[in-house]
Amino acid sequence: MDIPYNSTARPDTGLYNAKVGIWLFLASEVMLFGALFSSYILLRVSADPGMWPHGLLNVPLGTLNTFILITSSITAVMGWASLKMNNFAGFKKYQGITILLAITFISIKSYEYWDKFHHYEVHLKNGHVLDAHIEKQEGDTIVFHGYDTADVDATKITHGWQDRQINRHEIEVKKSEIASIDNFGPSHSPFTGIYFVLTGLHALHIIGGIIVMFYIWGPGSIMWRTDPERFTNRAEVAGLYWHFVDLVWIFLFPVLYLT
Amino acid sequence: MSNNSDSHEVQKQVRSHLRIFVALIVFTLVNFIVSYFMHVDSQTASVVIALGIALVEAFLVAGFMMHLTTERKIVHIVLVFTVFFFTAMMYLILWANRGDNRLGHGVHV
């Protein structure tokens, strides 16, 4: 059965069906991410004044990832524009670059996650608190690299993050001196919880985008020979989705990394 | 599939997208420099600056890369509903968290 309005516009909407469909889907996505952003706002305004964590994330890496995603957005547009100009080889090149950039984004994000799972808040029996990474373990001794303070609140206060980043050094601790140790995973604090949920959902969208774009770039590209108009529409719809993923990151980056 | 005027129009769009790409990179860089090197003392000011720049970037992506400024009426209608419900959800959250309604403060009977 032939599905109508796959490549030509419907007279009543003025758009082909997939375009109406993707906009409806993106509208639902706005509500999904909006619900999570509202959870973030709720957690943040409910935190004690000056105690919302800041400086926990790697800002240069976050900035690099923002550049990568913005660049991938423009290469996605260039791919679609190549098809519009009958340049299939150009589409293959730009779509391929978009996929590689998306994979790079996910790789950097994975490294950031890995780092958080190896970043510890250590409470010592003498009342000191460490905000540190484990350098090495030798028998009964653990060598941390990080920040050491006797003031428990100093590891949490918002304005103290520059101090925590500057005053990092090696700290040797005997295992018997440790009262508790907890990494900066999702269960560490409301901040890390919402950070992992928001960026995790965004990362799933990136992975979904990679799968779809790879299909269009690879096995699905056979359609260019049989129905080029419909194939171009597919590339446009995938591009719209990809721009939305970029748009979400444009808000996630300042909200989680910069403020 | 495309005639010469189509092709010319697409080339114009590509040039416009490249300018937007440069603008997005510059805005991101400004956001990074302000946040990372300038250490704005006021938390409120840093939030306003960071989100203000993000809003401009979002407008550029949605308006031009996603072609919203020239998109058909039906898409705008869908998005008007989305904006309405999104705003209502945000308002409810802020309302629920104000004064006596603040979540976590228990229910007054």
Amino acid at A17: N
Find out whether A70 and B24 touch, Cβ atoms under 8 Å.
yes
C-alpha A20/C-alpha B75 separation (Å) is 7
Contact B82 A30 (CB under 8 A): yes
Give pLDDT, residue A147: 86
B26-85 pLDDT, tens digit each: 999 998 888 877 766 677 787 888 889 999 999 999 999 999 998 889 999 999 999 999
Give pLDDT, residue A112: 96
**Domain spans of chain A, in order of start:** 59-116+188-258, 120-183
Amino acid at A220: G
C-alpha A7/C-alpha A3 separation (Å) is 10
Contact B2 A45 (CB under 8 A): no
C-alpha B96/C-alpha A206 separation (Å) is 33
The residue of B8, B22, B32, B94 whose CB has the most chain A CBs within 10 angstroms, and thus the best one to mutate to test that interface, is: B32
Mention the CATH class of domain A120-183: mainly beta
How close B71 gets to chain A, by Cα (Å)?
9
Task: Note the pTM of the prediction, 2 decimals.
Answer: 0.90
| A to B CB pairs, distance under 8 Å | 142
Give pLDDT, residue A253: 94
Q: How confident is the model at residue B2 (pLDDT cuts 50, 70, 90)?
A: very low
- Token digits of residue B67: 């072609």
How close B15 gets to chain A, by Cα (Å)?
10
The correct CATH number of A59-116+188-258 out of 2.40.10.220, 3.30.365.10, 1.20.120.80, 1.10.3370.10 is 1.20.120.80
How close B70 gets to chain A, by Cα (Å)?
12
Give pLDDT, residue A207: 98
How close A54 gets to chain B, by Cα (Å)?
10
Give pLDDT, residue A258: 87
Contact B51 A259 (CB under 8 A): yes
Chain B positions in Cβ-Cβ contact with residue A22 (cut-off 8 Å) = none
Contact A27 B79 (CB under 8 A): yes
| H runs (alpha helix) in B1-109 | 4-36, 43-60, 73-96
Q: What is the DSSP string of B24-49?
A: HHHHHHHHHHHHHTS--S-HHHHHHH
The answer to whether residue B1 scores a pLDDT higher than 50 is no
Give pLDDT, residue A79: 96
Could you say which residues of chain A have pLDDT below 70?
1, 154-165
Q: Report ipTM for this prediction.
A: 0.85
Give the Cβ contact number of residue A160 at 10 Å.
19
Find out whether A174 and A228 touch, Cβ atoms under 8 Å.
no
Same fold? A59-116+188-258, A120-183: no
Contact A243 B2 (CB under 8 A): no
Contact B46 A27 (CB under 8 A): no
Q: Where are the beta strands (DSSP E) in A46-202?
A: 119-124, 129-138, 141-149, 169-174, 178-183
Amino acid at A26: L
Contact A71 B21 (CB under 8 A): yes
